Structure 1
Amino acid sequence: MAVALTMPLPTPVSRGVDFLQDAIFCGFVWLCGRILVAYVQVLRHLKEAEAEATGLGERATPACEAVRRAQRAMRKETWGLTLAFTSTFGAYSVARVLINFNRFGELPYILMVVLLGNTLGSWFLSNAHKLPRRAATEVKPSKSKLPTRKAAKRSRTAPQMSADLDEWHKKVRELSVRGITAQALLQFYQDLARTMPHYRPQVHTTLDVVRQAIIPTTQVRSCAFSCIVSEPRFPDKMVTHSWQNLFRDLVAAVIADAVGENSFEMVANHLEHDTSILGRLMKQRHTADRVYWICAFAVNQHSAICENRDGDCDSWTGKVHPPCRCRHPKIFSNTPPLLQVNNQSIYCEMNKFDDMMAMVAAHKPSFSQLVAVDSRFVLFRRAWCVAELVEADSAGLKQHVQVHSRKVLKDNEESLRTLKVEDMAASNADDVDFILNRISDKRVFNKRLQQLIFDDHGLLSNWHQLDTLHQMHEIGNLLKWIMADGGLGLVLKYWVS
């Protein structure tokens, strides 16, 4: 604008340029004012939430701290924006005055003020003042080719004949479209009161639910649960989890991902008290139809484990899970090893997960992995789980982690920093030996594991280095929960309890 004014132009054109500049300036002032008003509204909502949480007594201390943390971040954002806007407004006004008095020599100084003000504002907005002074030492990935558990199975069972290979790919295709929507998963959880009357959210594991809800529900058709509740669809995410984890936490991790949470503590609380809020949030975010691939629902349990030959017991009653009476042929029993080479491996549904993931990724480039971490972080101490996480990262598959809460992460952080692949366990001791034998340099592998978990782009990076985007995301989540119940205060009460 300043350069345009210095050019010798005919009077009508000069007036037009002046009018255009004033119009743009007024539009800019209006836009900046609207942005600042929006920030003030967010601060007002946070202030109301703080007052509401304070009224709940001493038990609301965690809620109050979260609200105050959000207020501090919003005030910093507001100051950064105000600094950038003020420097721009002031510099433009001063520049117009100088140009009117033909003081063009001072314009470079005005430009310096604009650059300085906007740079300082951006410095606050980007959270650059909180970045670590020294970047983490880069650790080169190990050259060891460590196959995942599924890849290892496939390498020993994949057929060589073309006819068998066609059947193999046919089965992979069937598995790859057995996703279940977040809404269907929530509905299944709500129906547990009918399908599994003695269900206890704080006790029963995913294995319990598979034995006493999924298998009985699918017994008549002897099929995977997803085949009953939804049409064949490629999933958006594959969920990695442990069957020994609480089923409530598995569902909470998936729903938390669907509603944009970084942890599932709040969702797990609502699963026990009021699931309607979760359904409304998913509809508001248009994520109720997001499709997840979860082995418990995607694999036909009647083709492998429904007989309960291991004698698994209910976590609440201690009674042995009743065996299924279906007559569906069992592709693999628990007696022969799963890696055994035979013709039945072509039709097995438990040795094709890696091929299934590759097929889904080919059809849907946005396909990613959701890691549902249990509250004790046992997942990171299971040899096969750790190996798969590292391999998925090396393969470039995008990974998302759902943990229980910030407190649980803080309590387990030190133990996670001492993880070593040599100390990890597996159900079968031979599996541990197999993994260790495939790692040529265990020291480098352990460093790579630490980097995968803790570095700037690691699995848990959102919890340690929150830039402005993530801060705004967390504040948005906080406001989302506060306003989800229509001002009744139920969310904060559940939070406190």
Structure 2
Amino acid sequence: MERVLHAFQEAGLSLVSRAYFLRVLGRFRDFEVLLDAYGSSSTSIDVAHFLEWLKPEVPPQLQASAASAASASALVEDLARRSVTLRTLLKFLRSLPKTMPHFNVERTRTVDVVWQVIIPETATRGCSYAELLESERRLPDKMISHNWGNLFAHLMAAVFADAAGKPSFSAILSWLQLGAKGLDMIEALIEDAGQLDSTRWLCIFAVNQHISICDSTWGCRDSVTNVPFTGCGCKRRKFHSGPRCEMDKFDAMITLFKQKKPGYEHILAVDSQVGLLNRIWVVAEVAEVFRQELPCKVVLHQPSSDLEEKTMALNVWTAEASRPEDVSMILDKIEDKDVFNERTKAALLAVGYLASLEAHVEMRYHLRGISSAEADAAFLRTVDACRAKLRQLRASQSEVLEIWRSFNEDEKIGCFQSASLRLTERQPSQREARDPPRTGRRAKSL
């Protein structure tokens, strides 16, 4: 039981409410009975005193289970608070030319940055990179699901585009390609949006790679130099499951965000190849977000048919991970794979179409003046109606596709009506007024 006490003490908890105590140890029903015996009138539990009272009564097996649950709960709380601000991300990008001289906006992948920067710079302390970057532990405003095979510049551009309220990141990416000057432009944009000190949770920064994967490169090579990655020599024990594993706590973290972070939103940073939909960890994260009915936003490179095509081809059985055992672990958690595929496809299609809607609105704004004010207002009403339908969390895949097909048909009709209205409203030119259309045989021959 000392391990249970230690877990509570590490989290800074000595006197906790009965409800919280039971939530931490909730899956062990016997604890509620024991708490009643300890003192039915107690609304707060002195953890140390309770455990001392409990020692002679609890079987060793239950003690070990309770200790494991409390330890995992404390880790989830700690892991969830390893967020970084957008200000810090910009500072990190400014440091890359020094820490990774061969960094290339158009070729360097996220996994390259992990192996060339994050793992080496945290080897001495054996901690997560977020613990080096941030002194304050805060729950994130948003968590980012992404693909390690994605270009790192694309990931960062997606994060900044979302903060600026943009549905796609192609414009931000063009600024990143400008180097320091482009970063200054992005910082100004994010500052104007009031988001510089908002926080994001990214696994590459938050997970301690030295107790996870730092000794296994799987034969991968740097995308620019083609030099094989070198495994870390820290020799720290790795945890791929159990209460000390940091790679299987995402479901619990998402639950924590829902409980403790009002306004939390989940972000899908979709790479240009839409490869993230084939990664088992991303599929698992997104499935839990949908199950918890939390807001989820897709940020695309630019609207295209790829998202729809790749989503329609999504099959949890074919999702991949660097470690095959991760695939097995996640698949074992999904009872009905067909239902999971259907629900995930419907939800991904819905959020993808919502992102495309915003791109339609932005395009319409840039083309304002071409159509009439009435047509623009009708278009926005159509968008609002489509948006409301797509946000129905229980819509099926076929319903989502029908909603989008209907929107596109309505938009085409609206564009046609707008163009017709413009033609009928157009005033005749001076020449047309001076020389009315000819009639008769000569006019027909012209």
Contact (CA 8 Å) 2:126, 2:208: kept in 1 or not?
Answer: yes
Match of 2:224 in 1: 316
Match of 1:348 in 2: 245
Contact (CA 8 Å) 2:82, 2:201: kept in 1 or not?
Answer: yes
Give the match's secondary structure for 1:460: helix
Change in CA separation of 1:164 and 1:234 when aligned onto 2, cut-off 3 Å: same
Match of 1:377 in 2: 274
TM-superposed CA distance for 1:415, in Å, is 4.5
Give the match's secondary structure for 1:459: helix
Distance 1:361 1:351 in 2: 18
Distance 1:475 1:353 in 2: 39
Count of residues paired in the alignment: 302
Give the match's secondary structure for 2:221: coil
Higher relative contact order (CA 8 A, sep 6+): 1
Gaps of 5+ in 1: 1-153, 333-337, 340-344, 479-497
Encode CA deviations 1:310-364: one digit per residue, 9 max, x unaligned. 343211112122333435x2233xxxxx34xxxxx32222222222222232211
Change in CA separation of 1:218 and 1:447 when aligned onto 2, cut-off 3 Å: closer
Distance 1:403 1:251 in 2: 12
Counterparts of residues 237-386 of structure 1 (less than 5 Å)? 237-273=142-178, 274-308=182-216, 310-326=218-234, 329-332=236-239, 338-339=240-241, 345-386=242-283
Q: Give the TM-score normalised by structure 1.
A: 0.55
Distance 1:384 1:323 in 2: 22
Q: 1:214 aligns with which of 115, 118, 136?
A: 118
Distance 2:218 2:316 in 1: 28
Q: Give the TM-score normalised by structure 2.
A: 0.61
Change in CA separation of 1:433 and 1:173 when aligned onto 2, cut-off 3 Å: closer
Distance 1:257 1:451 in 2: 22
TM-superposed CA distance for 1:423, in Å, is 5.2
Distance 1:205 1:159 in 2: 45
Q: Which deviates further from its counterpart, 158-167 or 259-268?
A: 158-167
Contact (CA 8 Å) 1:253, 1:263: kept in 2 or not?
Answer: yes
Counterpart AA for 1:181:
T
Distance 1:177 1:433 in 2: 25
Distance 2:177 2:63 in 1: 47
The RMSD of aligned alpha carbons is 3.1
Change in CA separation of 1:238 and 1:464 when aligned onto 2, cut-off 3 Å: closer
Match of 2:351 in 1: 459
Match of 2:311 in 1: 416
TM-superposed CA distance for 1:195, in Å, is 0.3
Distance 2:272 2:261 in 1: 31
TM-superposed CA distance for 1:211, in Å, is 0.8
TM-superposed CA distance for 1:212, in Å, is 0.8
Counterparts of residues 429-448 of structure 1 (less than 5 Å)? 431=327, 435=331, 438-440=334-336, 442=338, 444-448=339-343
Distance 1:433 1:192 in 2: 35
Q: 1:404 aligns with which of 301, 319, 324?
A: 301
Percent identical across equivalent pairs?
A: 33
Match of 1:3 in 2: none
Contact (CA 8 Å) 2:81, 2:139: kept in 1 or not?
Answer: yes
TM-superposed CA distance for 1:428, in Å, is 5.9
Q: 2:80 aligns with which of 168, 176, 187?
A: 176
Gaps of 5+ in 2: 1-26, 28-61, 369-446
Contact (CA 8 Å) 2:97, 2:103: kept in 1 or not?
Answer: yes
Distance 1:272 1:187 in 2: 16
Counterpart AA for 1:330:
R
TM-superposed CA distance for 1:389, in Å, is 2.2
TM-superposed CA distance for 1:188, in Å, is 0.6
